Structure 1
Amino acid sequence: MTESDNPRGQAGLAALEARLRQDLAWLELPARAWTMPRTHDGQAVLDVAVIGGGMAGLAVSATLKHLGIQACAFDQSPAGLEGPWATTARMETLRSPKQLTGPALGLPALTFRAWFEAQYGSEAWEALDKIPRLQWMDYLRWYRQVLDLDIRNGHRIEQVLPRADNLVALSMTTPDGARTVLARRVVLATGRDGLGGAYVPPLADSLPRRLWAHSSDEMDYGSLRGKRVGVVGAGASAMDSAATALEAGAASVDMLIRRADIPRVNKSKGAGNPGLTHGHYGLPDEWKWRLRHYINSQQVPPPRGSTLRVSRHASARFNLDCALDAIDVDGDVLRVRTPKGVFELDFLIFSTGFRIALETRPEFSAFAPRIRFWRDRFAPRPGQEDGELSDSPDLGPAFEFQEKTPGACPGLSRIHAFCYPAALSHGTVSGDIPAISDGARRLGQGIAGLLYQEDVELHYAALQAYAEPEVFGDEWVPAPPPALES
């Protein structure tokens, strides 16, 4: 639905924004600024720098602002294109149920539903099945604007450097040239691939790059018109990539699916409840691992709608029990060898997920070797081995990195990983829609406590110097002394 179809939209949004302002005023939000200003060599120091202006970065920035903490977020994308929603995501609708409150931080007027109904009405909401992907991006743009969050676009982080003087330096390129920003705390709100990147199997290493892509790559699917396309995988992104290729005019799409069947049940959905959200961090290591490994091993099924979006095309083929054995290149043709035979393809899309690999990210090179990962401290039971979990960082209560060798990297704990790889330590509160507000508040409150504790002497001095009178001495008349008895 476009604005031209919806003349009530702007008036409805204006009324909703007025209500939100009133709600915030009633809750005394944002809190007054209370952190101690800090400078270094004449340069102002941020309380918190947030890397990433997508959904997680917005939720964190809003939380910190409401807590009275100075925060600034930096994102490499142009304004309005943060995160995957309007760039690399290819689903028609979100996979999450529409009623989830997402990054609203407990504020009803900040929910997607409030934003949607203000423009289109309650009947349209009831008729809505799932949230259209691009409409979700419009909502996030509004979220940023209505909360007046400080997001700097076109800022690409080149290096994150923890220092021994209790500061973290961020070297970045900006629209105005190179710049270094200093912050007391840094939050990595860097998304699904935030601590690594796309994973492709080793057999892709020898393939010409023009003949394949990862499902998370930005690419023109129109270039696949008339081509024989293979898609490796059976998850949501595999279905979305296959459907997009078919809709763009691909001659055929072969889904190459390693498993004997496509997963049917979303186990992670069955695990979602406030008890797990708030209790995961405090669980024994064995239970954390057991829960996350079970969900990983069962895998998340593709959405029904995404699967039907593929199967409605006669030229789509679902090839089960079809692991990749080898790939030969003959000019511009890929011959993919599998247990089911050889597939001749013109292009291959790997929908094979992401990996945690900080060592592959130049911006993290100053501290990546010093981080303590779960593999450094926990050995799973036989049969529960899991590479993703082993590679996950072992995070503290405020999502902070911890040193593998104490004292080897001063300042490392000032960097907080609020992205998907935090799931083993904290549960799924830092990357997905269902519990993103809970995670943002946990992080924000943790950082608030750390900032106060570091400056407790200064806060105590400010307490002693506080001299705003509430009683002035003219509120009473001293009683005369009692008369002496004769």
Structure 2
Amino acid sequence: MNTLDLLQQRVADDLRLLGQPPENWVPDPMGTDHDVVVVGGGQSGVAAAFALARAGVTRTSVIESRPAAATGSWRAKARMLNLRTAKSNAGPDLDIPSLTFRAWYEAQHGRAAYDELPRIPTAEWASYLEWLREQAGIAVRFGVELLRIEPDAGVLRLHLRRGEARFTETTRKVVLATGIVGSGEPFIPQPVTEALPPTHYAHTDTPIDFAALAGRTVAVLGAGSAAFDAAATALEAGAAEVHLYCRHPRLAAASNMGTLKYMAAQENFANLADPLRWKLAWHFRERSPGPTPEVVARATRFDNFTLHLGAAGLSVGLDGGQVRLLSRGHELRADYLIAGTGYTCDLARRPELAAVAADIALWRDRYAIPEAERQRPNATYPYLGPGYQFQQREPGKAPWVENIYCFNFAAITSFGRHVGDVGSIRYGIPRLVSHLVKDLFLADLDHHVARLFAEVPDELQYAQYAHAVHTPASPATLQGDLS
């Protein structure tokens, strides 16, 4: 038996020692197909489903639009060699030691190999997540896409598609564990989309045929880690030249969000007053986090890589079938442009939310934003409840939106950090599941009150102790004894 088999035995034993997950306690008064549907089969979706099962919410279904081999971002589009988060960060293991990445990695490579890892390799993390999903027993319905959510007589009706087949299912709750793109869509500057045909550019969020860029000149817009990863991948694929454009005079040397690492801050950010949350959220994101030293070195080791700083006035055009870029008097003709320019938060842009987005409260709806700050991107992010649930734009008009839980990047203004990344799981999943359990319990309070007042069957029979019961003497016998 190999060491991974031994670890899997240990996992099974740990789960046994923790006790079997409780039986489902959630009644089904409305005849729904599910109590909870988790949208997204990546690390957040699997962790949420695992935690719900451990909490006795077993009528949970996880759907994922991609096939198993391309679930989440790690295999589908991640181009970094290693995770950006520290290897010590707890992930979707629910604090079960045998389910940690470290336990999985050491079982295959040994303790010394783990100790020598500066960061977790991306490919290893993707394989670990697949292993954890199997060990946790989470069944994901791959290839099922959520097309639309709509209210239906007190529940949520989900319009789904698998291949050519379209169908609907009902659920009481929906968890959107849809990652960074789940908040809206990739952002590509308008000058690019207006000047270039789609054949000449792509966003870092989308699949890119880097092999086709061998021998070509590539321009990259943006100076975050994703942009540098794309530049390095193109260079490694044999690009003739890669030019990366940063609008600032220097690369961002650090992230303001680096202060939001300790437990108390992450646990309590959502408890802060709105003015302070707003101020901090903007402080964290006033400038996007810069690239890590590792990803910068990966690109700059190539002599045919050029970094253009101070490119805020960059102009883009198409000339003779090539991309023409002009920055600070320097002209470049490139064969292809890659935009590593982030994402927009616009819930109406998400097909699954298009029918309900108008009823969801945004920060600009709930907080009196100072006049000078109303154009900040934070204003369009959803204003979430304490359990990541959407809130009604007009209280009382659409209570069903509070049955949709936004466990993705769009939660960043309400909760301070990138919800759904590795570092957020340890704190976010318990909060999410705690509120789901509370909401499900209180929604059926009459049922639970009746259950709590129900007659309890006798466990102890009188016959089991009758022989030991003291029988006092009769009064007549006592009088005779006293005389």
TM-score range, shorter chain: over 0.9
Is 1:203 the equivalent of 2:185?
no
Alignment RMSD (CA, Å) = 1.8
- Structure-1 residue corresponding to 2:255: 266
CA distance in 1, matches of 2:424, 2:147: 30
- Structure-1 residue corresponding to 2:125: 136
Which range moves more in the overlay, 337-346 or 71-80? Answer: 337-346
**1:388 CA drift (Å):** 2.7
Aligned to 1:186, the other structure's residue is in SS state: strand
Structure 2 unaligned blocks of 5 or more: none
Aligned to 1:401, the other structure's residue is in SS state: coil
CA distance in 1, matches of 2:198, 2:132: 38
CA distance in 1, matches of 2:320, 2:292: 36
Residue by residue over 1:338-358, the C-alpha shift from the partner in whole angstroms, topping out at 9 and shown as x without a partner, is: 234322211111100011111
Residue by residue over 1:43-82, the C-alpha shift from the partner in whole angstroms, topping out at 9 and shown as x without a partner, is: x521100110011111111111111102111001111321
- Structure-1 residue corresponding to 2:315: 326
- Structure-2 residue corresponding to 1:337: 326
Is 2:176–2:404's contact at 8 Å kept on the other side of the alignment? yes
State TM-score, norm by structure 1. 0.93
Equivalent residue runs for 1:33-52 within 5 Å: 33-38=24-29, 40=31, 44-52=32-40
Is 1:483 the equivalent of 2:470?
no
Is 1:323–1:339's contact at 8 Å kept on the other side of the alignment? no
Is 1:195–1:358's contact at 8 Å kept on the other side of the alignment? yes
Flag the 1:383–1:321 CA change in 2: closer, same or farther, 3 A. Answer: farther
| AA aligned opposite 2:3 | G
Which range moves more in the overlay, 460-469 or 399-408? Answer: 460-469
Is 1:71–1:150's contact at 8 Å kept on the other side of the alignment? no
- Structure-2 residue corresponding to 1:440: 429
State TM-score, norm by structure 2. 0.94
Which range moves more in the overlay, 455-464 or 256-265? Answer: 455-464
CA distance in 2, matches of 1:231, 1:361: 26
- Structure-2 residue corresponding to 1:26: 17
- Structure-2 residue corresponding to 1:98: 87
**1:324 CA drift (Å):** 4.3
The alignment covers a number of residue pairs equal to 473
Which range moves more in the overlay, 185-194 or 326-335? Answer: 326-335
- Structure-2 residue corresponding to 1:79: 68
CA distance in 2, matches of 1:252, 1:376: 47
CA distance in 2, matches of 1:278, 1:474: 54
Is 1:68 the equivalent of 2:56?
yes
Runs of 4+ displaced beyond 6 Å: none
Residue 312 (structure 1) aligned to one of 281, 301, 312 = 301
**1:430 CA drift (Å):** 2.4
Is 2:256–2:285's contact at 8 Å kept on the other side of the alignment? no
Residue 16 (structure 1) aligned to one of 3, 7, 11 = 7
Residue 242 (structure 2) aligned to one of 245, 253, 258 = 253
Is 1:49–1:74's contact at 8 Å kept on the other side of the alignment? yes
| AA aligned opposite 2:186 | A
CA distance in 2, matches of 1:71, 1:396: 22
**1:39 CA drift (Å):** 5.0
Aligned to 1:194, the other structure's residue is in SS state: helix
| AA aligned opposite 1:15 | L
Aligned to 1:103, the other structure's residue is in SS state: coil
Which range moves more in the overlay, 446-455 or 418-427? Answer: 418-427
- Structure-2 residue corresponding to 1:282: 271
- Structure-2 residue corresponding to 1:173: 161
CA distance in 2, matches of 1:382, 1:298: 20
- Structure-2 residue corresponding to 1:356: 345
Is 2:90–2:425's contact at 8 Å kept on the other side of the alignment? no
Aligned to 2:70, the other structure's residue is in SS state: coil
Flag the 1:176–1:18 CA change in 2: closer, same or farther, 3 A. Answer: farther
Which range moves more in the overlay, 199-208 or 256-265? Answer: 199-208
- Structure-2 residue corresponding to 1:4: none
CA distance in 1, matches of 2:232, 2:313: 21
| AA aligned opposite 1:358 | L
| AA aligned opposite 1:133 | T
Aligned to 1:474, the other structure's residue is in SS state: helix
CA distance in 2, matches of 1:110, 1:412: 34
CA distance in 2, matches of 1:389, 1:347: 31
Is 1:227 the equivalent of 2:216?
yes
Flag the 1:466–1:191 CA change in 2: closer, same or farther, 3 A. Answer: farther
Is 1:406 the equivalent of 2:410?
no
**1:379 CA drift (Å):** 3.7
Residue 136 (structure 2) aligned to one of 126, 143, 147 = 147
- Structure-2 residue corresponding to 1:3: none
